[in-house]
DNA sequence: TAGATTGTTAATCGATTAACAATC
DNA sequence: TAGATTGTTAATCGATTAACAATC
């Protein structure tokens, strides 16, 4: 698995390959050619071969790709063979839904903590952990050692909280707030701006696709 | 607001412009040049001018852009001046969280119905509407006339349900399931594959950004 | 009028697709 | 060996950036 120069566009396509390969694997298919896969996924076979080759030769001439093997390889590139300690920052509706999100634990994202500011929420249980006041983060982070923070708080607290998380040594932030966080050094921010999707949707409906 | 040939890349950037302009507007700034905006947003001024020009000349030479006006114009392009009737299909944790999502109503997305299959959930209230059994969709859709369906159900029911929604005349589907829906004719599908974001996040953490 | 900044065309860059030699 | 299909290079396409004339 030797990386060449891998463009951001390629990385963004990997989860999609991974999802399709999972389905194909579950159908009991053992091998697949770039051509077959391209038909299923509605992309060009050329792109598939080009993309996969960024990470080394997974295929075999005259045969194609071993589904199981390719699935595992992409999973590894995506870091899905690892375990991640995760905390929820903001245990409101969305935070709670994400904490209970099924695919979450299964994919190696283990909830180790949850924080909020509301008295109504603090002390309640969330997927096996007790929700604490955010002020206890400083004391708890060295114990919990979380890798990833899921940020589901109001926009106005986002920037300061992100800075604090960075200071406490978080590696990645999954950002569900409206704010754009300019990622602190060493922290990767993955934005999940739900409202952007909603706007794109409304645009397409209104303009008639 | 005359559309030239507008690329998909441009459309996808509009929500981001919209968000920034909202912030700038709230700061009380009246006019802004492409240069100032480019510094804030960390894109090139050239791209901003190019993008905005797809929809006609919003700016003025020697002056820049009127923030209020540009904000309103982009909102209109995104169809945010309209109202949309929305139904939740799958009133589990995520569905309920989205239904209660603050920015939702505010942006013109009005919940008019919610459907599920679980006896525990049917009959409960969700943001002002009573959750019904999905089998009642056929009877209720002609009454409710929803524009958008938010799909938060298990993957295995996704394809069949999407087909049903299309048959009942839905215009757009906000897809939170793992499944890739090949959009039925006349229906726009906006995918919100949350797990993709999580995979990208894990990749970046593991490979060290 | 002079200065500023857009709208727009041309140049560059990157990403996608096509083609084919290598090889299983 | 012959057929199939990859890995990889070259050609094309589209999107981004630079430049500048138009104009407020």
Give, for all 209 residues of chain A, the pLDDT tens digit: 445 578 899 999 999 999 999 999 999 999 999 999 999 999 999 999 999 999 988 999 999 999 999 999 999 999 999 999 999 999 999 999 999 886 677 789 999 999 999 999 999 999 999 999 999 999 999 999 999 999 999 999 999 999 999 999 999 999 999 998 987 888 999 999 999 999 999 999 998 74
Q: Tell which of B200, B207, B208, B209 to mutate to test the A interface (max A CBs under 10 Å).
A: B200
Average pLDDT of span B19-42: 96
Sheet containing A109-116: order of strands: A125-126, A129-133, A109-116, A84-89, A148-151, A172-175, A188-191
Q: Average model confidence (pLDDT) for chain B?
A: 93
Q: What is the pLDDT of residues B45-62, one digit of tens each?
A: 999 999 999 998 899 999
Average pLDDT of span B113-117: 97
- Residues whose CB is below 7 A of strand C: A 7-10, 43-44, 46-47, 49-50, 60-63; B 33-35, 45-46, 49-50, 52-53, 57-65
pLDDT at A1: 42
Which residues face B173 on adjacent strands?
B149, B189
Q: How far is the CA of B27 from the C1' of C7 (A)?
A: 28
Average pLDDT of span B132-144: 98
Closest CA to A142 of A103, A112, A120, A177: A112
Q: Nearest-CA residue of chain A relative to B85?
A: A202
pLDDT at B102: 65
Q: Nearest-CA residue of chain A relative to B204?
A: A188
pLDDT at A3: 55
Residue B188 is inside which H or E element, if any? strand B188-191
Q: Treating both helix axes as pointing N-terminal to C-terminal, what angle do B34-41 and B45-53 enclose, rounded to 10 degrees?
A: 110
Separation of alpha carbons A183 and B19, rounded Å:
18
Nucleotides of C under 7 A from a protein CB: 2-9, 14-19, 22-24
Highest mean pLDDT among A100-104, B97-101, B160-164: B160-164
Q: Tell which of A99, A106, A198, A206 to mutate to test the B interface (max B CBs under 10 Å).
A: A198
pLDDT at B4: 59
């Amino acid at each position: 698995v030797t990386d060449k120069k891998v463009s951001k566009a390629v990385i963004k396509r990997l989860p999609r390959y991974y999802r399709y390969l999972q389905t194909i694997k579950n159908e009991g298919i053992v091998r697949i050619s770039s051509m077959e896969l391209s038909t299923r996924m509605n992309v060009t076979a050329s792109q598939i071969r080009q993309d996969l080759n960024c990470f080394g030769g997974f295929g075999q001439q005259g045969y194609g790709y071993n589904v199981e093997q390719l699935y595992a390889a992409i999973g590894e590139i995506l870091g899905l063979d690892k375990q991640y300690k995760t905390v929820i920052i903001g245990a409101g509706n969305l935070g709670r839904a994400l904490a209970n999100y099924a695919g979450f634990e299964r994919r190696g994202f283990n909830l180790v903590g949850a924080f909020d500011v509301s008295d109504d929420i603090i002390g309640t249980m969330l997927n096996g952990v007790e929700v604490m006041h955010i002020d206890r983060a400083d004391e708890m982070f060295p114990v919990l050692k979380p890798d990833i923070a899921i940020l589901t708080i109001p926009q106005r607290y986002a920037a300061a909280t992100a800075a604090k998380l960075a200071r406490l040594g978080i590696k990645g932030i999954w950002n569900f707030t409206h704010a754009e966080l300019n990622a602190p050094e060493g922290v990767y921010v993955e934005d999940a701006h739900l409202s952007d999707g909603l706007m794109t949707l409304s645009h397409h409906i209104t303009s008639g696709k």
